[in-house]
Chain A
């Protein structure tokens, strides 16, 4: 390689000619995009084949609930291409997907895209709120516990964390409904917002907050315990490192050593955990969405499976995977900001 251009501003290894493609940042982003596209294609092909492996399609599900003649059944199958070989169906589906056409959802009598766009916000709000809340609360607990390591307060917190860890979220959900909705009447039992009230602006916002408080808490408890425990262990580990001794040897206050030097290092594993939490909540909140009657992605997938609505199910899978891929990308970026040792690689 000839070294013609000026050094890239990166200062570490920029010796090539300066084109957009040789900038490490651009190359990194391109590589990540390619990876993401590949992952999405694999996920979709895999899911498609899995769904087709299961016996029955939505026409069977439909025929189970109303009387259809054999002709009507054949015609329905032909209309949706269900009479073709699986391989042909796959090619057809994938080529439509390439144009962001998710097809039609028979059970909702609407395009899959419309159904998903209506429900994605519910899940997005749930996920963002629970990840934020569990990270903040978990970190606070881990900080208090590690500052008081070995003292009674540490023990109390660790028992509480164990309790949160061990109690299934649906039990917490049901208990909360009993206490706060049934007995005290403070919070609405179910739904995303009050239907038919025509709330707008802040009134609507607070209405949604009231509806989502319990589901978000139910989705948080397990992760609060995870963050609390990982954070405490990580903090105690970091506090033993050499640079903490240096910080102490510099005569810094314990407060500064703890919150400025140790905490930032100790938080790194929690960020990784947050990525996992987003992935698992994206489609995995079915139980909580069902209990609280929330029309989220998990709930939608669940219905799609039972009514053999292949297009809708695959659409949900696509959307959830896309979100997971994006979130992982954001987490990597965040990691790079938090830990300067991590490079664009």
Chain B
């Protein structure tokens, strides 16, 4: 094969705890260099765990139980913490869901940025200091030099998130995972942070995996979209294709549930789809979505649909919607 491998490729990934029902299963998607991929799905469907598995930071006794995670073609899901350490920072990094608690409360912001630079790039303290100020400047934080000596509690949530971003891009990784980078922030700050991420992504040619609830955000910044439901990928494809012509009933429901005119409050609750996301141990046999699906039939109970190509994108459904049948449901 002569193709260069994608920056991040996740194939058939399953994450679980001991013999319990897996939290996510058969996750498959890729992120190319310089590409933005939006990962969406309801709360609890396993977005964060997929991201943490990529970083090798799964909490507690959660483990990768099956499948592969490759970074630049090299498998990383079985690497020891010691080897992963050298990838975290220079090759991949992550912005976490909770900016308020992501920083060490008793260390200055400057020290927390500097240590990435001294650890991975071997910069001297003075050089690291100067570079840290540059990084803070990149994040458009007001008065970057003065921020260096401050502690996280002296900053607003938006500023802390900028610090986390500065840390994440410090060693110019090729993959950046942003796990709902704006949910904890207020609306005006959300837009600023998103713009900043998108700009850094273009400037540094980052592969960006953006996890969000918000389809509006995805439409705005993502080249491709991956829709997860109850631990599996149910649909995947070009952002516009998927959002304009969703093939999976769940995606269609997500789009329909999106309040019109609002860019921020996403599809946290699905008014149009009855029921809620089942816990990992209560997922139905066959298609995981069947008990909430309006078009489900007998086969959906018996056999789990495969992720199959359908009109330019992949969908995991026995009865993918056609563009025509949806025309009336999709808000234009």
**Interface, chain A (partner B; CB < 8 A):** 241-243, 245-254, 256, 260-261, 264-265, 338-341
Contact = CB atoms under 8 A, between A and B. Distances in A.
Given A250-B116, A265-B106, A341 B153 contact: yes
Contacts of A340: 105-106, 151, 153
Nearest first, the 10 closest Cβ-Cβ pairs linking A and B are A251-B88, A251-B89, A242-B101, A340-B151, A243-B104, A246-B102, A251-B85, A341-B153, A250-B116, A264-B106
Interface in B205-262: none
B89 A339 contact: no
A248 B88 contact: yes
Nearest to B89: A251
Contacts of B107: 260-261, 264
A252 B119 contact: yes
B98 A256 contact: no
A213 B85 CA distance: 45
Contacts of B104: 243, 246-247, 261, 265
A32 to B, nearest CB: 23
Contacts of B59: 245
B57 A245 contact: yes
Interface in B38-91: 55, 57, 59, 81, 84-90
A341 B85 CA distance: 30
A254 B81 contact: yes
Contacts of A250: 88-89, 93, 115-116, 119, 167
Contacts of A242: 96, 98, 101-102
B102 A338 contact: no
B85 A246 contact: no
A251 B87 contact: yes
A227 B299 CA distance: 62
Given A242-B102, A251-B84, 4 more contacts: A246-B103, A253-B119, A256-B119, A341-B106
A338 B119 CA distance: 24
Interface in B82-139: 84-90, 93-94, 96, 98, 101-107, 115-116, 119-120
Interface in B257-300: none
Contacts of B55: 249
B165 interface: no
16 contacts: A242-B101, A243-B102, A245-B59, A245-B96, A245-B102, A251-B84, A251-B87, A251-B88, A251-B116, A252-B85, A252-B116, A264-B107, A265-B105, A265-B106, A339-B105, A339-B106
Contacts of A247: 104
Nearest to A11: B154
Contact of A338 (B89, B93, B106, B151): B106
Contact of A248 (B57, B86, B98): B57
Contact of B151 (A246, A256, A341): A341
B148 to A, nearest CB: 14
A261 B93 CA distance: 19
